[in-house]
Structure 1
């Protein structure tokens, strides 16, 4: 059974959900999600003999939300993971991340390989530090319409999302899924000039089989506490992260690694992402064969839990 408690880590109080005993597996969610996005992973991993812990990362759900935008840099987020591992009485852990949780997992393995027994990223491949600031680059490439640039404007995206939290999440979760016909060939997530992020996201009459109305209720309730500003502040630090990670330019992720993604995931069509996936063996010298799930959209572990669980368990068992 999943249990909940709070842990003080790196200057913030994090809410964690956990189940099982054994080697520690830390599951890191993305945007706009929370611990609940790993609901299908707790039981299978715990039953195999792992201590499964999924935090609400800083700014999300029931965890604390620092006010300063620059309190959400990648160094803070990696510090939270390392601090959480140690707060749970462990020296090392397996770290798994989806969406924004994936860059946190990859950077934890990059910056602190001594605490990472193995790393898995879902949807987002490991970052290859490019030659320019990400927000600046996307602004030029898409004339300011890429969703990162919409998210970086203080107060704008949160006002849109918080107008009707439940409807926003329902539309977002469906729109980025493999069930949305628009994602057969994943488009670029652009925001119409003068419009909103949700404008091109349809209101589904019925939800796909992997997502129930009760699931949407849980996500909406979790966002009732802190809103969306904390999660959006992660995007507002993209250029700052580029500056802070300069010392690791050209470095590789040394721990054993696994990458899983859907072929209908919008992230896989981002500029530069196909090249990143092709270069995985260079970025991850100890990578396993990537798992690309046909018909799967962005919400990897929710849309295809059985395949994701089988891949994760195979990876973890091998390393043990």
Structure 2
């Protein structure tokens, strides 16, 4: 492996994490890497995940091995920047798929390790909203950490970076904990207003599109790439549910002031942080026609299709 940043194709690829997004990324990167001579795919997992007796973890580890992916042991929280850099130094491309559960400091820690290792190409964990548009000081403090990572990557020229903005995971609209769609009570709780928009994409589509972006020619570098399975308002969400499920849905608006009051009463509540940010409506939605998948005519799952496939019957 060479750390020459002028390489044209990613070959020695490390994917960090094998969760809700990591597994689709792994599957699709492996599929596309078969067409790249001399390529290899590895995944960084915590020791606890590798040795877990939980059925879902065992299933994922077995699938990773069956795909021919090498498992590398590492821990983004416990390992130092130097230790992570030593792990990363064997690869020409590192893709972060761990989410935000590792804490506020971890995004910067991983980025610093990637730069210290002189990784030629780095895809940070930024699969989400447009942090630049949201800006600093939003109700979700981890977004400031993500902006710090962007500033760091933009300040240097030894490591190419690619940021993939996906909006919200589509299935999160329907998670009971999110509160946005209350299926048992046939209610849509609109964040901000019924006209507030949100971009949503399935993890499976993100996996397909990430692999396409990774191997795209001409090479994508130092760029924010936008994806969208769909961009909808909460009013349109309610209408889609009524049409597909053939029953009425009540519409309730959770206003920005009320959500900020709830957050003030419970300032460490991650769900309330997210609700307040999405209710403000900045940087959480973009036109689907302008996205990578639309420009390249790559089919993705829209809201109506997701509802038909997952909620009907």
TM-score above 0.5, yes or no: no
Name the TM-score class by shorter chain. Answer: 0.3 to 0.5
Normalising by structure 2, what TM-score? 0.35
Whose radius of gyration is greater, 1 or 2? 2
